[in-house]
A and B are shown apart, each in its own frame.
Chain A
Amino acid sequence: MIAFISGGARSGKSTHAEALARRWQAERGGARYYLATARSGSDGEWQARIGRHRQARGEGWITLEEPVDLIAALERVEPGGTLLLDCLTLWASQLLYSSEHASELAEVRGIAMLEHLLAEARRRDVALVIVSNDVNEGMPPEDAEVWRYLAFLQRVHRLVAQEADEVIQVMAGLPQVWKRRDGEPS
């Protein structure tokens, strides 16, 4: 099963996603994994953010660090496990802009990678909780590169929301249900 959880900055997305991943693991057994798209070797502010998230998550998570290659991360998850991916905005920027991956084909490659991730997670019986951040409801960007990023991130969001069994928009810590696990819209 797959969940997509998105919302604004500090809306409570991660807290909700972590609780859902814990609940799914309790139902299913298996191990609980946290896929961090941020590398821990970054600057001081990032260290602090990562530390805050890690502390809030508490014990019982196996942490995987993988900035871009989501399939490589999934391959390290035992079948029957639960994987929390937090978050797509950072993954999307690293895919588009990190020097080793940046190219005209980055978007195509990224969409293919995500489609593969969702299909492989189902095939391997890995429960997947995916977190992202909505950034498209403010003034539209004037810069063409920022537009490119926004358009790509939205393509990613629409794909994941379409494929997910459960879709939640978090506002002020409260979950707004768009899709429930049986596929019925609320």
Chain B
Amino acid sequence: MQLFIGGACAGKRDAVTQRFDAPHWHSAHAGCRLEAWRSLTETRCLVLEGWERWIGQRLADEPNDDRLRQAMARELDALRAWEAEQGGQAVLILLEMGRGIVPLGRENRRLRDLNGWLAQDAAARCERVWYVWNGLVKSLTL
């Protein structure tokens, strides 16, 4: 599993496109639900993006931050298991959103916190982590 993290419009998609051949894009921005990746297991390389949306969709139903963090981490574990069993490659694209002012709204604060925890949990499970900044890409691992 590999992680690409960077701010809005930093060039994360281009960074992934340059490194992976014909991946399948599973995107929240195209209306895909997170857990629906399980029906795409025929694909060899699976890119998952829009995690902040997937977190946002779950905020109302799960008021407990720890449980929601754990639920997201279980998705990461399931992706790792799929990789091991099927020989696939999972690529996560995460939005860096933690470097601004604390948001005024409670839901936005939760979203920002959970997104930060997800980034930590994802990085801990990835062999490679890449930081995308103004179209340039740097490895944070190795």
Residues of A within 8 A of B (CB): 4, 6, 8, 134, 136-140, 150-151, 154-155, 157-162, 167, 169, 178-179, 185
Interface centre among B8, B11, B95, by most chain A C-beta atoms within 10 angstroms, is B8
Inter-subunit contact B136/A137 (CB<8 Å): no
In the complex, what's the smallest C-beta–C-beta distance from A96 to chain B, in angstroms?
15
Is residue B7 contacting chain A, with contact meaning CB distance below 8 A?
yes
Inter-subunit contact B96/A137 (CB<8 Å): yes
Complex CA gap A157/B133 in Å reads 9
Inter-subunit contact B99/A162 (CB<8 Å): no
Pick the residue among A8, A138, A140, A158 that contacts B134 (CB under 8 A). Answer: A158
Ordered by A's residue number, 24 sampled pairs between the chains whose C-beta atoms are within 8 Å are: A6-B134, A8-B99, A134-B133, A136-B10, A137-B6, A137-B96, A137-B97, A137-B100, A138-B7, A138-B97, A139-B108, A139-B112, A140-B52, A151-B8, A154-B10, A154-B134, A155-B9, A157-B134, A157-B135, A160-B134, A167-B134, A178-B136, A179-B136, A185-B136
Chain B interface residue count, CB cutoff 8 Å, equals: 23
Complex CA gap A6/B136 in Å reads 13
Chain B residues, Cβ within 8 Å of A139: 97, 100-101, 103, 108, 111-112
Chain A residues, Cβ within 8 Å of B19: none
Chain A interface main SS type: mixed
Task: Identify which of residues 75-125 in chain B touch chain A, using a CB-to-CB cut-off of 8 Å.
Answer: 95-101, 103, 108, 111-112
Chain A residues, Cβ within 8 Å of B67: none
Pick the residue among B9, B95, B112, B135 that contacts A162 (CB under 8 A). Answer: B135
Chain A residues, Cβ within 8 Å of B111: 139
Inter-subunit contact A161/B136 (CB<8 Å): yes
Pick the residue among A138, A140, A158, A169 that contacts B135 (CB under 8 A). Answer: A158
Complex CA gap A103/B17 in Å reads 33
Known: A169-B133, A178-B138. A138 touches B9 (CB 8 A): no
Chain A residues, Cβ within 8 Å of B7: 134, 136-138, 154
In the complex, what's the smallest C-beta–C-beta distance from B11 to chain A, in angstroms?
5
Inter-subunit contact B8/A154 (CB<8 Å): yes
Complex CA gap A151/B8 in Å reads 8
In the complex, what's the smallest C-beta–C-beta distance from B12 to chain A, in angstroms?
11
In the complex, what's the smallest C-beta–C-beta distance from B19 to chain A, in angstroms?
14
Chain A residues, Cβ within 8 Å of B97: 137-140
Chain A residues, Cβ within 8 Å of B108: 139
Inter-subunit contact A161/B135 (CB<8 Å): yes
Q: A179 — nearest CB in chain B belongs to which residue?
A: B136
Chain B residues, Cβ within 8 Å of A155: 9
Inter-subunit contact A137/B98 (CB<8 Å): yes
In the complex, what's the smallest C-beta–C-beta distance from A52 to chain B, in angstroms?
23
Complex CA gap A157/B100 in Å reads 19
- List 14 extra interface pairs beyond A150-B8, A150-B9, A161-B136, CB under 8 A: A137-B8, A137-B97, A137-B98, A138-B98, A138-B99, A139-B101, A139-B108, A140-B52, A140-B95, A151-B9, A154-B8, A154-B10, A157-B135, A158-B134
